[in-house]
Structure 1
C-alpha cells in the first residue's frame, strides 16, 4: 500500500508480508531498492523476523521495522512468530487474520502526507491497496478478515479470490523476458494493471527458508538419492512432518556411509552465498520463487523437485519454456524415487550428456540477459513510475 508524499513526490509504503523468512526477505530486498530511490518504507513484521533481517536493511534512515504481535490461537505453540517455528502454517494464517486491528491502527496513525491522513472508508480498509502476487505473497492489506474465524473457515482459494477482487493492481516479482505471456493474460483476465519489479535479488548474504518434506519415507528417498549419485552434497531441509529432528528421520546407517562426503542440515543456510561458491555444480530445489531466480542467476546446473502449486508453475517455466533445468520424474502417485533423483542429478552433471549440455547452454544465455548492466534497475524505475501513475 502506497501513499505519495505531496512535497517530494516520494511514497510512504507499508509492507505486510506473510510471516515466513523466505517470503519476508523479498519484500526487504524490494524495500532496499525503493529506499535507494528516496521512498520511505514501514515494514510490519514480528520481532523475531526483525532480528533476523536488521543486517539486510541497507537504508535504516528510510526503512523502519514495526513490530506486529502474533495473537494467540488455540493449538499454536507459545512464542510462534514465523512459519519456521512450526511444521505447518495453517494456524499461523489464522493468527495473521487476527492482526487486523494492529495493521489498521498503524495505517491510521502512520501512513500520512504533510496535509492529511490517508482516507479509510467505513469498512476500515485503505482506499488504495495493492496485492503482491507471485514472488511476494498473496495478501492485500485490504483483505484482512474482520473477525476471528475457525480453522477451516477460509480456504486458500477464498483468500486468493478475495485479494484479487479487492486489489487495485498486481505487482509481480518477474520480468517480461521470462513471463511476459503470463503477465499479459493476468492483466486481460482481471482487467487490472500488472506492475513488474524484476527479479529483485538481494545481497549475497540473504537467508533463504529451507524446504519441508511432508513424509518421512519421501524424505529418506531424497537423501538416499543424493547418496546414490556418488557425488559430494549438502542438503538443507526441515525435519519431515512427524519427526522432531533431522537425525531422527535419516535412514539407518546413512550418516556413517556418507561421512566426509555428504551433510544434511536442519537449520537456516545462506543459500545465495552457497550457490556462488566455486565448488558447487548443481542446485536441487523445490523451485520456490526465490530459489527460481537465484538458480537463474547462478552458474550451476538446475534440478527441480516441486510439490506445491506455485513451485510446479515455476518448474514448468524453467523446464518447458526456458529449457534450462531438469525435473525429477515422479511415479503415478506423485512420489519420486531415489533412483529418479539420482538420475536427474547425474544427467545434468555429465558433461557428455546431451540434455545436460543443452540446459547448461540455455542457462548461460538467460544468465547473460538477466545480468546485463541496468537490467534490474530499469525494472525498478519503471515499477516506481507506474506506481506513481496509479496512485496520483
Structure 2
C-alpha cells in the first residue's frame, strides 16, 4: 500500500545508510499519486537512489558496494542473495515469505522488520532498527559472516551437482510410487 511505501521510505531515511531502492508502483495507485513521502528524494539524494523502472537485481546484488539486501523474502530473491553472501533485512508479505524469513533469521543470516502482532503492520522505526542492526551495528558482522558461509555452500558446484544426482536417483527409484 501507499502507507507501507511511506513507512518503508521513512525507515530507510531514519537508518541513515546508503541505498538503491527498486520501487514498483503498487496496483491501484493513480498516476498523480506521490509514491514517496514529500521531500524524501531531496533529503536522501546524496546517499540514495530510488528507481521506479526495471533494475537488474543480480547486477545490483553483485556490486561491491552492496552491503545487505532488504527483501520480501521470495525464494528466488533469497537464493540470489546467497550467491553473493549478503545479509538480509527481511520484510515478508505473502504466502511462503514469512516462513522463509523465519528460517533465515534462525540461521543468523539477517533480521526481520518488527511487526505489530495484532494486525501485521510495520512502521518506520521497525524498518530503521532492522536496517541498522544488519548494516551498522556490530551484530551485522555476524550476519555478514553467516551469509558468506552460506555463499560458500551455494556456489560449490560439486555439492550442487551431487544434490541433483541424488534427486535424480530418488525420482528414478520412486517413479512408480
Using the alignment, how far apart are the partners of 1:220 and 1:241 within structure 2?
15
Residue 366, structure 1, aligned to residue 177, structure 2: no
Gaps of 5+ in 2: none
Using the alignment, how far apart are the partners of 1:312 and 1:301 within structure 2?
17
Q: 1:324 aligns with which of 104, 109, 113?
A: 109
Partner of 1:376 in structure 2?
A: 160
Aligned residue pair count: 175
- On the 8 A contact 2:68/2:89 being kept in 1, the answer is yes
Partner secondary structure for residue 65 of structure 2: coil
Shift of 1:389: 4.0
Partner secondary structure for residue 248 of structure 1: coil
Shift of 1:246: 9.6
Shift of 1:286: 0.4
The TM-score, its normalising length taken from structure 1, stands at 0.42
Partner of 1:386 in structure 2?
A: 170
Using the alignment, how far apart are the partners of 1:246 and 1:291 within structure 2?
30
The TM-score, its normalising length taken from structure 2, stands at 0.87
Shift of 1:217: 0.8
Partner of 2:56 in structure 1?
A: 270
Shift of 1:312: 0.4
Shift of 1:337: 1.0
- On the 8 A contact 2:91/2:113 being kept in 1, the answer is yes
Query: Computing the radius of gyration over CA atoms, which structure comes out larger, 1 or 2?
Result: 1
Residue 286, structure 1, aligned to residue 67, structure 2: no
Residue 334, structure 1, aligned to residue 86, structure 2: no
Q: Which has the higher contact order (CA 8 A, sep 6+)?
A: 2
Superposed CA offset, 1:328-381 (max 9, x none) = 11123211111111111111112x52x323222322222222222412222223
Shift of 1:278: 0.4
Q: 2:20 aligns with which of 213, 218, 234?
A: 234
Shift of 1:257: 1.6
Shift of 1:222: 0.7
Gaps of 5+ in 1: 1-214
Q: 2:10 aligns with which of 215, 219, 224?
A: 224
- On the 8 A contact 1:303/1:325 being kept in 2, the answer is yes
Higher helix share: 2
Change (3 A) 1:361 1:222: same
Partner of 1:357 in structure 2?
A: 141
Residue 256, structure 1, aligned to residue 57, structure 2: no
Using the alignment, how far apart are the partners of 2:57 and 2:72 within structure 1?
13
Change (3 A) 1:267 1:289: same
Higher deviation after alignment, 285-294 or 234-243: 234-243
Alignment of 1:67-146 (within 5 A): none
Question: Please, what is the CA RMSD of the aligned residues?
Answer: 2.1
Higher deviation after alignment, 222-231 or 377-386: 377-386
